[in-house]
């Protein structure tokens, strides 16, 4: 059971049963159902965008989904378990994915590796495919974050939240796994991230039609999500720490910087290609038209009769000889 409330909005604390239903003795959690809804929404968007905008065959897209979805879930669960080993004293509990516990960056990294390998095998343009996939993933994240709401998790610290109308109560507050019953209100960081992703999803779709080169939509997704996740991670009470630092702050802000650099490089290359095309077109337009031989006017010169002059000379010689013979007596 989870206890949740938003007293500033007039929503008093209430309880939610984390289990949606039980089938054959197996408890199906609301968290898992919400994740499935997010995956289905992402799948529909990806198929539509990939076929209609990017021109991929539906068979290739379905093959990618069949591979990417389970591998991404495995990656998300693997990263979550590895960063929360203290929660899994029983080895088999690590496989109870229906009870919740996924790390989105694990899904992104495992899914990205799968897409790149598939595109290399099938000789498909990877960046073009990632452009279609990126906003689909973000749509899934918009929906999937509400699984944290049902579980009353992924919330933030209490600093500065007392006067906010959207302040949230979650029963007992845990900070890095330690209960703090004296804390009453927290930041609903799951809600912040869901709204941030929704805004990003809208902006990416508006940007899509204006992309200049393949990969720019994907870079924008990485930059947008990385910035939001990196900043919101400062508020989270359950962050993974590596050597005392919040790992997802470093990963989020680092991916933001890398994606912005790639986006700038991509735009510069697009501008250079456009300038080359314009210069080529101008050079061709400035060239003079090639000279052509004059066409015949259809008239022919009169033929020269070379035999006629020769015949005249022979006749003259014959006449002169005949005259000489007639003038001498025999």
Contact 188, 153 (CB under 8 A): no
User: Rounded CA gap, 141 and 38, in Å?
Assistant: 7
- pLDDT tens for the chain, 330 residues: list them: 788 889 888 898 888 888 888 888 888 888 889 999 999 999 999 999 999 999 999 999 999 999 999 999 999 989 888 877 777 788 888 887 766 678 888 899 999 999 999 999 999 999 999 999 999 999 999 999 998 888 888 888 888 888 899 999 988 888 877 888 878 889 999 999 999 999 999 999 999 988 999 999 999 999 999 999 999 999 888 777 777 778 889 999 999 999 999 999 998 988 887 777 767 777 777 666 566 656 565 555 555 555 555 554 544 444 544 444 444 444
Note the helical H segments in 145-246.
146-151, 189-208, 216-232
User: Rounded CA gap, 153 and 227, in Å?
Assistant: 21
User: Rounded CA gap, 229 and 4, in Å?
Assistant: 23
Could you tell me the residue ranges of all domains in the chain?
Answer: 2-212
Q: How far is CA 299 from CA 60, 276, 296, 303, in A?
A: 67, 50, 8, 12
Q: Does residue 209 sit in helix, strand or coil? A: coil
- The residues facing 168 across adjacent strands are 186
Strands (DSSP E) found in the chain: 2-6, 11-16, 19-23, 26-29, 173-175, 178-180, 241-242, 245-246
Cα dihedral 172, 174, 180, 182 sign? negative
């Amino acid at each position: 059971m989870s206890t949740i409330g938003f007293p500033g909005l007039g929503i008093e604390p209430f309880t939610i049963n984390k289990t949606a239903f039980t089938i054959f003795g197996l408890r199906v959690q609301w968290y898992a159902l919400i994740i499935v809804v997010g995956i289905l929404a992402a799948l529909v968007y990806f198929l539509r965008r990939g076929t209609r905008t990017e021109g991929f065959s539906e068979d290739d897209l379905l093959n990618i989904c069949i591979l990417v979805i389970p591998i991404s879930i495995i990656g998300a669960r693997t990263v979550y378990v590895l960063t929360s080993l203290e929660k899994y004293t029983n080895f088999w509990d690590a496989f109870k994915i229906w009870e919740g516990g996924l790390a989105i960056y694990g899904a992104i990294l495992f899914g990205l590796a799968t897409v790149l390998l598939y595109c290399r095998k099938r000789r498909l343009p990877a960046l073009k495919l990632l452009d279609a996939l990126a906003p689909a993933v973000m749509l899934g994240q918009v929906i999937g974050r509400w699984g944290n709401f049902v579980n009353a998790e992924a919330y933030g610290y209490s600093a500065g939240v007392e006067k906010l109308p959207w302040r949230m109560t979650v029963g007992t507050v845990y900070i890095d796994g330690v209960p703090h019953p004296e804390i009453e209100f927290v930041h609903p960081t799951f809600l912040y991230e869901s709204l941030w992703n929704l805004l990003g999803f809208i902006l990416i779709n508006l940007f899509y039609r204006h992309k200049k080169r393949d990969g720019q939509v994907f870079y924008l997704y990485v930059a947008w999500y990385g910035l939001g996740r990196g900043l919101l991670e400062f508020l989270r009470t359950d962050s993974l720490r590596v050597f005392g630092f919040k790992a997802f702050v470093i990963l989020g802000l680092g991916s933001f910087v890398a994606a912005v650099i790639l986006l700038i490089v991509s735009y510069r290359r697009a501008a250079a290609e456009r300038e080359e095309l314009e210069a080529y077109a101008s050079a061709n337009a400035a060239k003079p038209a090639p000279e052509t031989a004059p066409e015949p006017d259809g008239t022919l010169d009169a033929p020269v009769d070379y035999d006629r002059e020769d015949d005249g000379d022979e006749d003259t010689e014959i006449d002169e000889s005949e005259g000489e013979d007639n003038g001498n007596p025999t």
